[in-house]
Chains A and B, each alone.
Chain A
Amino acid sequence: MTNHWIDIANSDCILTMGSNPLKNHPIGFKWVMKAVERGATLISVDPRFTRTSKKSHVYAPLRSGTDICFLGGMIKYILENNLYFEEYVQEYTNASFLVNPDFKLPGENEGVFSGLKGEKTQEGYFDGKYDKATWSFQKDEKGKIKKDPTLKDPLSVFQLLKKHYARYDLDIVSSITGCPKEDLLAVYKEYAKTGVPNKTGTVLYAMGWTQHTVGTQNIRTMCIIQLLLGNMGMAGGGINALRGESNVQGSTDHGLLFHIYPGYLKSAKASQATFSDYNKANTTVSDDPMSLNWWKNYPKYSASLMREFYGKDVSLEDAYSYLPKIDDGVDHSWLTIFEKMYEKKIKGFFSWGQNPACSGANANKTRESMKNLDWMVTVNLFDNETSSFWRGPGMNPKEIKTEVFLLPCAASFEKEGSITNSGRWMQWRYKAVSPPGDAMSDADIINILLNRLKKVYAKEKSVFPDPILKLRWEYGPKDSKGNIKHIDIPMVAKEINGYFVEDKIIKGKIYNKGMLVPNFTLLQDDGSTSSGCWIYSGSYTEEGNMSARRGKDDPSGIGLYPDWSWTWPLNRRIIYNRASVDKNGKPWAPHKPVIEWENNVWKGDVADGGLPPMASGKPSCYPFITQVDGVGHIFGPGLVDGPFPEHYEPLESPLDENLLSKQLVNPIVKRFDIVKGNEKINARASHDPRFPIICTTYRLIEHWQTGVMTRWQPWLVEMEPSLCVEIGGDLAEQKGIKQGDKVIVKSARGDLEAIAMVTVRWRPFRILDRLVHQVGLPYHYGWATTAERKYGKIDKKPEFFTYGDSVNILTPNIGDANTMVPESKCFMVDIVKKV
């Protein structure tokens, strides 16, 4: 979230799209209700009438996978009716920048942007890659970007935006999305009202936006709307991702994904041979004195990370040389990992705190792939479909050689540590009870693993032992051999914050070796500081553990609660908050000021960048300090699949044409199906009469993730015992299916049994001249707690069995062009009654 949960209460209009927060974020939803009580409008856009829809003032249905089209229509509406916040757009975004004259929009270039290299089929390009040379700005002789503050130049971002979305008229948007025109207009009208300076709108999204081949662009479309309406940086505004797991924000912040290190530093690439190559590639440069260009500080953060990893006895260069390098252009995302496992290229696998046999898209492939492993270590609370994959449905244990180790670990209540919520609040939690039996915290398991690895590397002659042997590991009390006995979590938190590793004088102030760094503005590029995750620097200082604070004062009056826990960065509760004030530092919305320039200081939240306002005559900066040019990107050349979002059909679609262009699907996505010849394991079936129904996935409130924790709980199973497929009345009648019938849902990749839940909450979409049906199933189920499986002598039997396997049996292993998040929210199926 750019903002935070409590801030939702400050909003005038809340758009829930790609999320169903009332059901999936029931506690956070109270802030939505608070806003509604204060007069805010609540909008729900969802293929299915959800519980959030029930509470909403405006509900609009849309066919899964058409969000860009829906929102593209909103951009057109805002622009054509002059409902945007003019001063904000002129001053705080790149709307006035002039674009390279060779740049081409999809409308004039067969549905793709200029620069695409790729092969072509009937459906348009596939497996493509853009050469982004034309996605650039015109510069003057001095290298400064050319601008037209009047926004009238036909090559200005503003005019190109207008031209691009002029194609998204109501008729076409309604035909593609299946949303009636009056519903589209109702949403556009309500949301666009927030374009006046003192009103704000916010968007709450979740996996309904990310799990698409155009997932990142879904969010980008909304970013453009938020910039046009001047909603970024404002109280009650922003772009707010609702996290699906309590600490998913924290784990991403700390580098969980393959392409990033802690603090969103980039993973090292093979082409970056030296530390300076690496820093150079990632440090942005700006000649504009008004641009704070925050990533100019990159070398400070990377050097501090090297110090944390290897300490001050290893040079920064050597530390960098120890890091594994990713081959340029190669991705190691989830889908690719399982592809490699399927191809027998991955032999060993740690499945830590997860249940891939149920959680990963195309579960049949995931399960098949695991057969190719020599060994697998699963760390979990309970035996599950992954640790027992070898005895799951369709498996012959005699033929599977994979050796599986199941390590029992502590649940969140059985260990100390921090959890970072959707609003970036790092909140400290204490251990409530000790873990049962041999179970131990993840950190202690990792500690034992490292101690053993060090032993092996020291004893046996290995080619490159230093990365392991020299790894710095100062996380707890040591035994006589110098090994850490057990991990002391506050010590880890301090290492994340960072230390001065030598005495240092900064701006006349002495910082002694061993002192905790006050915050990341004092991190150094010369190796004199360490920090395990720069954005968390400031969370555990000489003043103590900031995340354990529980102060309940709110001097701001807008719910910032600055003394409750700690928020990255620098305890700033609303990021981009400089955009909430005019050039004199006066808030656009004076009744809910985030920051305000008064008597030569910023009041309110921790102001972005800290410098005085732009019109103060003093050194100042543009509001979007992490962007190299300091402004919000309406034209965003950073993504791989286009500087403006463009509608493409989902990889599995009921249509064989894109009503907007000749390019059917996102040309950049990685196509396992084409490359591997559409074999069943990677199959795709689009516009295929065998699979005429659209299908989506979602969650229940009663179960959690793949259900490993909840399917054992009789009180929860009592409420939701079975996998159900929700079907609209018309479709059920057509198929002769009645409430409670057992049915089989089939996709190109697998069959899944479920109970039919016939409901008025699903209604067909009118797409062109035909009616298209959509159905949906929840995640959470798996075979391990069902009655049908065999239970061995030592297997625990659930008190009440559940019914049904994972919905991921059906979902495709096709990922978003930018992130490789699988398209689990939209694929094609058929449903038949089970006989």
Chain B
Amino acid sequence: MAEMAIFIDVYKCTACRACQVACKNWNQLKADKTESRGSHENPTDLSANTWNRIRFREVLMPDGKIDWSFFSDRCRHCDPAPCMEASKIPEAIVKHETGAVLFGEKTKELYFQDIRDACPFDIPRMDEKSKKIVKCTLCIDRVTNGLKPSCVTACSTSALLYGPKAEMLSLAKKRVKELGGNACLYPGEEFNTIWALPDTPKHYGIAEAPKIHNYMFAGSKLFSPLGKASLAVGLIGYMRTRTERNQ
């Protein structure tokens, strides 16, 4: 199979959360026990049972307008993938030819915190019972059988699309261009889940594309001033994700 990607057109997303349920449905993941914190956002975090969730954020802008944004948080399927690099067991985490980063049986044997810490986006979670580390699979069991990912099929607005990576990238770039302003391609080109964000990652309270990524793995920018600055930005973004309580 060719290299594929999911493109998430944030502009179109309406937070209908069909994708959140469809992911649980296909992967037969249980519901998390939640309570209302006075927000529509729930569950409050990714978990072994929640691999995709919509983050809500509402802000009263200085001009009196309301910005209400929705972000589908899930594995970015990085290329290369920091989680994979951090894995001490080669078969535990693999990059599939479709672009999916897959966590296998052997993740049981990994030290979970290492993997979680390695991920710039705080995606991996451990299933307490099996001790396996789990996350979005990019629906590998569907796409290798001619189906689209479950969340993509369920999306009510076509905010989620799945297709050859080149095609998805060009759609994403087109949307970014149309949106103008602070709009950006997120996290970047070297990922198999890509977002067209109408505003900066900071606005959405999500970790920036870690240039740290290039720094650690590409090697070329080693110790360059730019590399250091990016590392700092990356870390701040990462910490924000971990600590912030969103709407």
Interface residues of A (CB under 8 A from B): 22-23, 26-27, 29-30, 33, 49, 51, 53-55, 701-702, 714-722, 724, 738-741, 755-761, 799-800, 803
Contact = CB atoms under 8 A, between A and B. Distances in A.
Given A55-B14, A701-B17, A716-B21, A30 B157 contact: yes
Contacts of A701: 16-17
Given A49-B66, A739-B37, 9 more contacts: A26-B18, A29-B156, A30-B157, A33-B157, A53-B66, A718-B42, A720-B36, A761-B58, A800-B33
Nearest to A22: B14
B14 A23 contact: yes
A761 B59 CA distance: 9
13 contacts: A27-B156, A30-B158, A53-B66, A55-B14, A718-B31, A718-B33, A718-B43, A721-B35, A724-B36, A739-B38, A740-B36, A800-B31, A803-B36
B14 A760 contact: no
A756 B33 CA distance: 19
A724 B42 CA distance: 13
A476 to B, nearest CB: 36
B30 interface: yes
Interface string B14-25: 111110110011
Given A51-B68, A761-B68, A715 B21 contact: yes
B40 interface: yes
A23 B68 CA distance: 14
Contacts of A741: 38
A720 B12 contact: no
B38 A718 contact: no
Contact of A755 (B18, B24, B36, B60): B36
Contacts, number: 92
Contacts of A760: 58-60, 66
A755 B38 contact: yes
Contacts of A799: 31
Contacts of A756: 38
B39 interface: yes
A49 B61 CA distance: 14
B220 interface: no
B42 A720 contact: yes
A757 B31 contact: no
B35 A722 contact: yes
Given A54-B68, A761-B68, A718 B32 contact: yes
Contacts of A755: 36, 38
B157 A26 contact: yes
8 interchain residue pairs of minimum CB distance: A714-B31, A722-B36, A740-B38, A718-B31, A739-B38, A760-B60, A757-B38, A26-B156
B73 to A, nearest CB: 14
Contacts of A30: 156-158
Given A33-B157, A719-B20, A759-B58, A51 B14 contact: yes
A720 B31 contact: no
Nearest to B25: A715
Nearest to B22: A715
B39 A757 contact: yes
Contacts of A761: 58, 66, 68
Contacts of A800: 31, 33-34
Interface in B56-75: 58-60, 66, 68
Contacts of A29: 14, 156-157
Nearest to A729: B60
Nearest to A802: B36
Contacts of B31: 714-715, 717-718, 799-800
Interface residues of B, number: 32
A51 B15 CA distance: 9
A22 B16 CA distance: 9
B8 to A, nearest CB: 16
Contacts of A721: 34-36, 42
Contacts of A33: 12, 157
Nearest to B42: A719
A26 B14 CA distance: 8
A12 to B, nearest CB: 21
A60 B34 CA distance: 34
Nearest to A754: B36
A326 to B, nearest CB: 43
A186 to B, nearest CB: 13
Interface in B89-146: none
Contacts of B30: 714
A718 B31 CA distance: 6
B205 to A, nearest CB: 16
Nearest to B41: A719
Given A33-B157, A799-B31, A719 B38 contact: no
A718 B40 CA distance: 11
Given A51-B68, A714-B31, A718-B32, A26 B16 contact: yes
A20 to B, nearest CB: 11
Nearest to A725: B38
B62 to A, nearest CB: 13
Contacts of B20: 719
Nearest to B37: A740
B150 to A, nearest CB: 13
Contacts of A55: 14
A738 B245 CA distance: 15
B38 A724 contact: yes
Nearest to B157: A30
Contacts of A718: 31-34, 42-43
B68 to A, nearest CB: 5
Most chain B C-beta atoms within 10 Å of own C-beta, residue among A29, A719, A721, A803: A719
Given A26-B16, A718-B31, A761-B66, A739 B39 contact: yes
Most chain A C-beta atoms within 10 Å of own C-beta, residue among B12, B20, B66: B66
Contacts of B15: 51
Contacts of A702: 17
Contacts of B35: 721-722, 803
Most chain A C-beta atoms within 10 Å of own C-beta, residue among B15, B17, B31, B32: B31
A758 B16 contact: no
B126 to A, nearest CB: 20
Contacts of B37: 739-740
A438 B42 CA distance: 37
Contact of A719 (B14, B17, B33, B66): B17
Contacts of B12: 33
Contacts of B32: 718
A381 B245 CA distance: 39
Contacts of A720: 36, 40, 42
A711 to B, nearest CB: 13
Contacts of A714: 30-31
A761 B60 CA distance: 9
Contacts of A803: 35-36
B29 to A, nearest CB: 9
B16 A49 contact: no
Contacts of B21: 715-716, 719
A274 B234 CA distance: 84
B41 to A, nearest CB: 9
B137 to A, nearest CB: 18
Contacts of B60: 760
A702 B156 CA distance: 13
Nearest to B36: A722
Interface in B135-183: 156-158
Nearest to A701: B16
B192 to A, nearest CB: 26
A717 B43 CA distance: 10
Contacts of A738: 38
B154 to A, nearest CB: 11
Nearest to A740: B38
Contacts of B42: 718-721
Contacts of A22: 14
A765 B34 CA distance: 34
Contacts of B25: 715
A721 B33 CA distance: 9
B72 to A, nearest CB: 14
